[in-house]
Amino acid sequence: MNSIMKLLSDAIFYNLIREQRYMQFLDGLGISLQLTFYSAILGTVIGLFLALAKLGRIKWLERLATLYVDIIRGTPVVVQLVLIYYAILGSSSFPKIVVASIAFGINSGAYVCELIRAGIMAVDKGQMEAARSLGFSYSHSMIYIIIPQAIKNILPALGNEFIVLLKETAIAGYIALDDLTRAGNIVRGRTFDAYTPFILVAIIYLYITTILSWMMNKLERRLRESD
């Protein structure tokens, strides 16, 4: 037992304490959280416009939105990230975190689109008819009546999408962005410990996703209480 505790304390010391390696994890976590935040905002905006385009009356917009969703959902996110960084924005001077946020936001937008579209379609058709009978235009009916109800219905699924997005950002190291996972890999390269750095990374991700799940559950309960 004492030998196991000594091995554990040595592993923690060499991977966290020595040379202040814990700062590598903290900096990486900050990058991952920023990346998730920016990507979630961009993905939500893209998803909302795509959902409205797919439900709208303009055929070419509907087909374009459908094509976008099919392509994005049908290709791996790591391929999209590499293509956007090296091919599409390769000659730009954008910081890596901006490029990665764009890539992950574009990917997330396709999934958010289907969530919002499903939420809008789940709202009773009588809501739109009632709004139009009161003099609301189609766009105002969607903005003030339909979309708020749809967002409320899909909030749990939307929260899950943001949690998935946080975990997807772990591939940001493919473009040499020092996110949390790459921080673990850097520490592994310095300590030659193949296990402890990534166990620490997994624990940090688990802790953050647990907090996010708790926050989403609390918000969902608040919304149910307001009904």
Digit-coded pLDDT (tens) for 185-202: 988 888 888 888 899 999
User: Does position 126 have pLDDT exceeding 70, yes or no?
Assistant: yes
Asked whether 25 and 90 are in contact (CB, 8 A), the reply is no
Range of the domain at 40: 2-225
What CATH number does residue 17 fall under?
A: 1.10.3720.10
| Positive or negative: CA dihedral 219, 223, 224, 226 | positive
State residue 1's pLDDT score. 58
Which of the two residues, 105 and 56, has the higher pLDDT score? 105
Structural contact between residues 15 and 166, judged by C-beta atoms closer than 8 angstroms = no
Average pLDDT over all residues of the chain:
87
pLDDT confidence of residue 5: 66
Q: Which residue has the higher pLDDT, 192 or 205?
A: 205
Q: How many domains does the chain have?
A: 1
